[in-house]
Amino acid sequence: MGQTQGAPVWALGTMSGTSLDGVDACLVRTDGVHIHDIGPGGYRPYSGSERAVLRAALGLWPGDPGVAEAAAVVEDAHAALLAPLLARHPEVRLVGFHGQTLAHDPAGRGTHQAGCGARLAARLGCPVAWDFRTADVAAGGQGAPLAPFYHFACVARAGATVPVAMLNLGGVGNLTWVDPSAPDPGAPGALVAFDTGPANAPLDDLMAARRGGVQDTDGVLAASGRVAEGVLQRLLTAPYLRQPPPKSLDRNDFPDLLPALADLSDADALATATAFSAACVAAGLAHLPQPPARLLVTGGGRHNPTLVTMLAQRCACPVAPVESIGLDGDLLEAQAFAHLAVRVSRGLPLSAPGTTGVPAPCAGGRLSRPAPLPAAPGARAASPSAGQERSRP
Ligand SMILES: Nc1ncnc2c1ncn2[C@@H]1O[C@H](COP(=O)(O)OP(=O)(O)OP(=O)(O)O)[C@@H](O)[C@H]1O
Ligand SMILES: CC(=O)N[C@H]1[C@@H]2OC[C@@H](O2)[C@@H](O)[C@@H]1O[C@H](C)C(=O)O
């Protein structure tokens, strides 16, 4: 089973992740199958007040009060980051706009990413691929994780010959096992992927609640505490951890976690939560078809040495940052949505039974093109194909 390829194009992918820290963006030249080039990236943090708007909107669904305000924060932040990047890089044909997940309940109400790609396309004057998760959920999948199809391309680019795993330590953790001998990411057995459990989100939430901070920078507070083993072992009885994939999480799907740490000192609470995030990954490794040769870590959590050390202590395989295969772990998810944007524009699947549990490889996403400028008096009407994957003016 091969994948249909067209010519590679430059796409600009974005991610506004569950940590609510800010928006990442990165250029990738891709045909949706192979990564041909990785270009520059950018980051635009949310201000304290923007983050408060997003935090207040967590758990909300389209139409709920507060959602329009959150969507405006998301779109404004993306426009502020992307407009100068697009001006400097006119070679970009397409933006991949993930938006901000506010709620995720694939078995119930669906999945909700705030931010409208059609409005963003109009503001940027560039086609935007967006709403990546809805079609997968509608087809019976989890709608997440979606980065695995990009992980497959990354592992192929690195020339791996044996199965490896990629671990994203974001607000939530997600793990992708990749068999590089598979012909494409939708092939049976090519990928096994799922969310492992909470990763940075509870650490950030503890710091916010107890210290008024944003994160436990470099894991310093956690390193000064002691893991409360009894509490940790109780937390590790969560049924989610034993449940086989496919499975995915909302940011706040472990509501008992912070209350379980309430009686611990700040340092011990951080140490225990950090150990829990690491142990969730170790529990996830048991669900893989075979042990990976290496666990390649991406996402903000790889900057936390306490978390990484706890992880390495609990994993049988070597643990290394994705930088060890020449990738940038701060921009990998943004790159994923550049790659997926091109797949959207070409009708290629974004997910498969091994990644989201969708019954068959599933295409998805929406593509919004900026409205054509009104015709000048006397000018010919634009042809129906005008605006298809062309250079921006
Ligand atoms: N130096 C550091 N020390 C400790 N933690 C850090 C450091 N740098 C980043 N982090 C953590 O990484 C988080 C951001 O990670 P990342 O950008 O990968 O998450 P995200 O993309 O928002 O989440 P997700 O992948 O779940 O959507 C921060 O909120 C913080 O918890
Ligand atoms: C619903 C949603 O936005 N999920 C995110 C979240 O953050 C990490 C993990 O949970 C993952 O499932 C997903 O993001 C990445 C980019 C993904 O889809 O692969």
Residue 40 sits in a domain of what CATH number? 3.30.420.40
Nearest alpha carbon, ligand 2 atom 4: 144
The answer as to whether 28 is a domain residue is yes
- Cβ neighbors of 50 (< 8 A, separation 6 or more) are 73, 77
Nearest alpha carbon, ligand 1 atom 17: 300
Same domain for 163 and 122?
no
Tell whether residue 21 is among the known ligand binding residues: yes
Q: Is 144 in the pocket of ligand 2 (CB under 6 A)?
A: yes
Domain boundary among 273, 305, 325: 325
Q: Which of 16, 19, 55, 172 to mutate to test the pocket of ligand 1 (most atoms within 8 A of CB)?
A: 19
Tell whether residue 378 is among the known ligand binding residues: no
The answer as to whether 234 is a domain residue is yes
User: What is the model's pLDDT at position 371?
Assistant: 81
Q: Is 355 in the pocket of ligand 2 (CB under 6 A)?
A: no
Our count of domains for the chain comes to: 2
Same domain for 256 and 289?
yes
Q: Which of 15, 175, 215 to mutate to test the pocket of ligand 1 (most atoms within 8 A of CB)?
A: 215
The answer as to whether 38 is a domain residue is yes
Q: Is 38 helix (H, G, I), strand (E, B) or coil?
A: strand
Q: Is 299 in the pocket of ligand 1 (CB under 6 A)?
A: yes
Nearest alpha carbon, ligand 1 atom 23: 170
**284 lies in which domain range?**
159-325
Same domain for 26 and 125?
yes
- Cα-based torsion angle of the residue sequence 129, 130, 132, 137 in order, rounded to the nearest 10 degrees: -130
Same domain for 221 and 254?
yes
User: What is the model's pLDDT at position 389?
Assistant: 28
Task: Please identify, by atom number, the ligand 2 atom nearest to the C-alpha of residue 250.
Answer: 1
Tell whether residue 63 is among the known ligand binding residues: no
Same domain for 257 and 109?
no
Same domain for 209 and 288?
yes
User: How far does the centroid of ligand 2 lie from the alpha carbon of residue 239, in Å?
Assistant: 20
Proximal ligand: closest to the CA of 22: 1
Tell whether residue 41 is among the known ligand binding residues: no
The answer as to whether 120 is a domain residue is yes
Specify whether the CB–CB gap between 297 and 320 falls below 8 A. Answer: yes
Same domain for 315 and 175?
yes
Q: What is the pTM (predicted TM-score) of this model? A: 0.94
Same domain for 303 and 188?
yes
Q: Which of 58, 132, 195, 356 to mutate to test the pocket of ligand 2 (most atoms within 8 A of CB)?
A: 195
Same domain for 308 and 180?
yes
The answer as to whether 317 is a domain residue is yes
The answer as to whether 337 is a domain residue is no
User: What is the model's pLDDT at position 113?
Assistant: 98
Specify whether the CB–CB gap between 282 and 311 falls below 8 A. Answer: yes
The answer as to whether 66 is a domain residue is yes
User: How far does the centroid of ligand 1 lie from the alpha carbon of residue 202, in Å?
Assistant: 11
Q: pLDDT below 50 — which residues of the chain? A: 1-2, 379-393
Whole-angstrom Cα distance, residue 99 to residue 97?
Answer: 6
Same domain for 169 and 134?
no
User: What is the model's pLDDT at position 82?
Assistant: 98
Q: Report the residue count for the chain.
A: 393
Tell whether residue 348 is among the known ligand binding residues: no
Q: Is 205 in the pocket of ligand 1 (CB under 6 A)?
A: no
User: What is the model's pLDDT at position 375?
Assistant: 67
The answer as to whether 385 is a domain residue is no
Where do the H-state alpha helices sit in 227-292? 229-235, 239-242, 257-260, 266-285
Q: Is 195 in the pocket of ligand 1 (CB under 6 A)?
A: no
Q: Strands (DSSP E) along 239-368, which ranges?
A: 295-298, 319-321, 366-368
Query: Tokens representing 152?
Result: 């497959």
CA atoms within 13 A on the CB side of 100: 36
Q: Is 170 in the pocket of ligand 2 (CB under 6 A)?
A: yes
The secondary structure element, H or E, covering residue 85 is helix 67-88
Same domain for 108 and 163?
no
Proximal ligand: closest to the CA of 199: 1
Beta pairing, strands 22-30 & 92-105: unpaired
Tell whether residue 18 is among the known ligand binding residues: yes
Tell whether residue 12 is among the known ligand binding residues: no
User: What is the model's pLDDT at position 374?
Assistant: 66
Same domain for 101 and 195?
no
